[in-house]
Amino acid sequence: MSKEQKVTNDIKVLNKDLKLLRIHFPHCFDKDGNFQLEKFKNNLTEKEINFSSESYGLDWLGKSYARLLASDPATTLLKADETHNAKPENTNSGNLLIKGDNIEVLKHLANAYYEQVKMIYIDPPYNTGSDGFTYQDDRKFTVKELQQLIGVDAEKSKRILDFTQSKSNSHSAWLTFMYPRLYIAKQLLKDEGVIYVSIDDSEVAQLKILLDEIFGEENFRGIIIRATGTTTGQEALKIGSSYDSCLCYSKTAKFQLKGIPLKGKDLNRFNNDDNDGKGKYALLQLRKTGNADRKEDREGMFFPITAPDGSQVFPIGPTDYLSRWRTGKDKFQKFLDEGLIVWKENGEDIEEFDDEDDENEDDEITDYSSVTNENVDISKYKSKWKPYVKYYLSERTKQVSNLWTDIDGNKKGSIELKQLFDKKKLFENPKPTDFVKRLITISCSSDDIILDFFAGSGTTADAVLNMNVDDLAKRNFILVQIPERIDPKKSKTTYNYVKNELGIEVPTIFDVTKERIIRASKRIEINANSKIAEREKEITELETKLDLDGKDEKIKKLKAEIKVLHSQDLGFKIYETTPIWEDYDFEAEQFDSSQTLFDVGKLTEGDIKDLLITWKTYDGIALTKELETIDLSGYTAYYGSNKLYLMNKGFSTDHLKSLLEKIDTEKHFEPKSIIAFGYHLESKSLREISENVKTYNNKKKSDIDFLTRY
C-alpha cells in the first residue's frame, strides 16, 4: 500500500476512545467525521444505558480551551543532545531527560510510550500566590478562531484569551494549565499504572475533582499526607500548614498497591530462626484477633484442629467466647504441609505479630454474626494448646497508611541537594528522595518506567538510580523540565552557580536538573563499586571454607549480584523540543515539484536528524532506541522496529535494487513500512519505490507499506 502523510505538523495524542467509537458505531459519524451524539443515544435502548441530564463535575472558564490544548498538534520537533548522548555512560542508557514545555513533550511521547509507564510522580506549581505560577502558552488564536474551535460565544472566547495571554494565576488558569497535561499523561500509563500528584491546600480541592474526572472517581486510591518538617502560611487569620497532600489515582482497577518493608519495632518482632535457610520469622496467632475477633463463619473458619497431644482445638477468645481461625481449612492444610504451624502451650511467653499489620488475612468471608458464650458450653472446646503461623521476614511488608510522618521533610531534601552542590542552596524545599523511593516501592516492579514531567531539581531521577543499586533493579526514568530562566535577583545563588560554575550563559532550571542527575550518578557509582567490593570479599571468604552448606549456591548468587551492579544504568540521554521550521506549513496534496512552497535547501543535516527522531517517536519507537544505519550501495537509510526511513537526497534505481536484494537475503532485515521524506526524493524515485514495493514478490512474502511523508 502506498500513501502520503502530513505528519510533522500533525503530531498529537490519539483519542483511543474515539477510535473505539469509530470501530463499533461507524454509523454515528457524519461524512466530515463528526460524532453525532443524538444518533448514538437513539442507537441504545433505555435499558442498556441511562443518559442523565444532571451530573456532578467541575467546570471553569477555559475548560473547553484546555480540551483543545490536549488534542491540538505539537508545534515542535525533537532534537538530540548528541555530545551528551555520545558519552560512554549515556550511549546505551534507557533513562531520559527532556528539555521543553511538558505539554509538547507529552504529545511527542504519546505514541512511543503509550501504556508503557508504570508510575507517574509530579510536583506541579501549587498556585499559592507566592510560588510564581502564572498561566502562559504560545498558542495564538483570534476570538473568532477560538469560537469555531471550541464552540463558545464571542464573549466567552474573549474572556478565555484574556487570561491565557495576561499571565493569570486564577483557579481557572491553573486548571486550564493542568488539565491537558494530566489527560495526556493518563494515555502513557499502563493499565496497572498509577499517578501521584503533590499539592498543598491552595488547589487540593480543585485537583481532586479534576483527577476524578480524568481518571475516574472509582480509581481514587487515597491521599497521602506528607509531613514537610516546616510550617508555612502562618498568618493572623490562617492556620499554618505543616504537610503536603499527595493524591493517588490508578489507571484501572488492575493496579496493585504493595506493602512497605518493615523497620523499627515491627522488624524486631522477627527474632525466631530455625536455621532452615528461610531466615528469621515471627509468630502470628492462628485465631483471628482484633476487630474481626467475634465475627465467625461456622462452616468456613470455625473447625477443629488436632493439637500435638491429639486433642481437638477450637478458636476460643480470651474472655470465653467462640471466635474463628484466620483462614479456612484448605489454607490451614497448606500451612501445615509447609511446616508453618507452630504449637505453644498456654502460659508460654510469646511475642506475637501485630494483627493490625497482617496483610495475609483472608477476606473471603463478608457476612458474620456475633457469637458469644451464651447457652454454649465453652469448657468442652478449651485446650492448653495454641496454634501459631510462621511469617518469615522476607515475605512481610506493612500496609500503606495515608499518614507519612516517618519520612524526613523538606529539610532532608535540601540537605541532599546541598551535599551534591558544594553546600550551596540552589532550590527551595526540594522533595526528599526517601519520599519518592517509597512511592516507587509501593507501586513498581524492578524494571518499570517512572515518569516525572515537572522534574524540578531532579529528585525522581536520583531516587530511581539509588533504588536500582540498593535492590539490584533496572527501572528507568523519564524526566521533563522546561528551560525556565533563573531570576538573578530572586535566586542569586542559583543563578551565579549555573552561570559561573557550570558556564551556562543563560541559566535555567533545566541546567540544575541535568547537573543534579550527573552528580547523583557519580555518587551512586561509588556506592555501587563499594557493594561490588563487599560481595567480592564475601566470595573470597566463602571459597576458603570447604564444608559450608550451600557454599556454591551462595557464591553463584553473589556473582549474579555483582554482574547486575556492574551493569547498572547510571547514565541518561537528553533530548529537547525545538520549533518546527518557519514556513513548514505545506499541505501534501498541494505539492507540485515545479512549485515548492518550502525551501528544502535551507534544511541542514541536523534538521534532518531532528525530523527523523520526531518521526520515529511518532511511529512508536522509544527515544532511547537508536535506529540502525543501513547501507544501500552508497545510500544511507535508517532502520528500526520493522520501519525503514529514507531521509536523504540522491536515492536512485541502483539503491532500490540494493534495498530489494537486502530484503530477500538478510534474515533480520524485514521492513513492514518504508517511509520516505517527500521533499528529498524526486517524484520519479517515489513512484518507482511505490510500484516496486507493491509488485515485487519478495522471498519473505512480506507485505510492505510505502509512505511518502512530509
**DSSP letters along 250-309, please?**
ESSTT--PPPBPP-THHHHT--B--SSSS--EEEEESB--GGGTTEE-TTTT---EE-TT
Is the CA virtual torsion 589, 590, 594, 600 positive or negative? negative
Query: Tens digits of per-residue pLDDT, 368-416?
Result: 344 444 556 777 777 889 999 988 887 678 889 999 998 988 889 999 9
Query: Tens digits of per-residue pLDDT, 31-86?
Result: 777 787 777 777 776 556 666 666 678 899 999 999 999 999 999 999 999 999 99
Contact 285, 361 (CB under 8 A): no
At residue 296, does pLDDT exceed 70? no
Give rounded-to-5 percent helix, strand, coil for the chain: 40, 20, 45
**DSSP letters along 422-459, please?**
TT---SSSPPPHHHHHHHHHHH--TT-EEEESS-TTTH
Give residue 418's pLDDT band: very low, low, confident or very high (50, 70, 90). very high
Give residue 479's pLDDT band: very low, low, confident or very high (50, 70, 90). very high
- Sort strands 189-199 and 241-250 into parallel, antiparallel or unpaired: antiparallel
Phi and psi dihedrals of 406, rounded to 5? Answer: -90, 0
Lowest mean pLDDT among 87-101, 112-126, 323-337, 637-651: 323-337
- SS3 call for 637: strand
C-alpha to C-alpha distance for 625 and 642, rounded to whole angstroms: 13
The pLDDT value given to residue 375: 58
Give Cα 229 distance to the centre of its chain. 27
CA distances from 209 to 177, 204, 205, 591 (A): 15, 9, 7, 47
Q: What is the mean pLDDT of residues 160-174?
A: 87
Query: Tens digits of per-residue pLDDT, 422-468?
Result: 899 999 889 999 999 999 999 999 999 999 999 999 999 999 999 99
Q: What is the mean pLDDT of residues 278-292?
A: 80
Contact 524, 465 (CB under 8 A): yes
Q: What is the mean pLDDT of residues 171-195?
A: 96
Query: Tens digits of per-residue pLDDT, 504-531?
Result: 999 999 999 999 999 999 999 999 999 9
The pLDDT value given to residue 703: 87
Contact 450, 476 (CB under 8 A): yes
The residue assigned the cell 444518533 is 39
The pLDDT value given to residue 51: 64
The pLDDT value given to residue 585: 66
Render the burial of 629-666: b for 16+ CB within 10 Å, e for the rest: ebebeebebbbbeebbbbbbeebbeebbebbeebbeee
Q: Strands, E, within 530-652: which ranges?
A: 573-579, 628-632, 635-640, 643-646
Contact 469, 524 (CB under 8 A): yes
The pLDDT value given to residue 697: 79
The pLDDT value given to residue 700: 76
Contact 364, 257 (CB under 8 A): no
| Residue boundaries of the structural domains of the chain | 270-395, 581-709
Contact 392, 353 (CB under 8 A): no
Residue with the bigger pLDDT between 160 and 295: it is 160
Query: Tens digits of per-residue pLDDT, 658-710?
Result: 999 999 999 899 999 999 999 999 999 999 999 998 888 777 788 899 999 99
The pLDDT value given to residue 275: 78
Lowest mean pLDDT among 121-125, 357-361, 666-670: 357-361
| Nine-digit cell string for 158 | 474573549
| Nine-digit cell string for 568 | 547498572
Query: Tens digits of per-residue pLDDT, 242-272?
Result: 899 999 999 999 999 999 888 777 777 788 8
The proportion of the chain whose per-residue pLDDT surpasses 70, expressed as a percent, equals: 90
Residue with the bigger pLDDT between 272 and 493: it is 493
Give residue 593's pLDDT band: very low, low, confident or very high (50, 70, 90). very low
Closest-CA residue to 437 (of 477, 393, 403):
477
Give residue 28's pLDDT band: very low, low, confident or very high (50, 70, 90). confident
CB atoms within 10 A of CB 216: 15
What is the 8-class DSSP label of residue 329? H
Residue with the bigger pLDDT between 106 and 52: it is 106
Lowest mean pLDDT among 236-250, 292-306, 535-549: 292-306
The mean pLDDT value of the chain amounts to 87
Lowest mean pLDDT among 161-170, 296-305, 587-596, 681-690: 587-596
The pLDDT value given to residue 62: 92
At residue 199, does pLDDT exceed 90? yes
The pLDDT value given to residue 586: 53
The pLDDT value given to residue 397: 82
Closest-CA residue to 248 (of 233, 263, 258):
258
Closest-CA residue to 121 (of 431, 336, 537):
431
At residue 7, does pLDDT exceed 70? yes
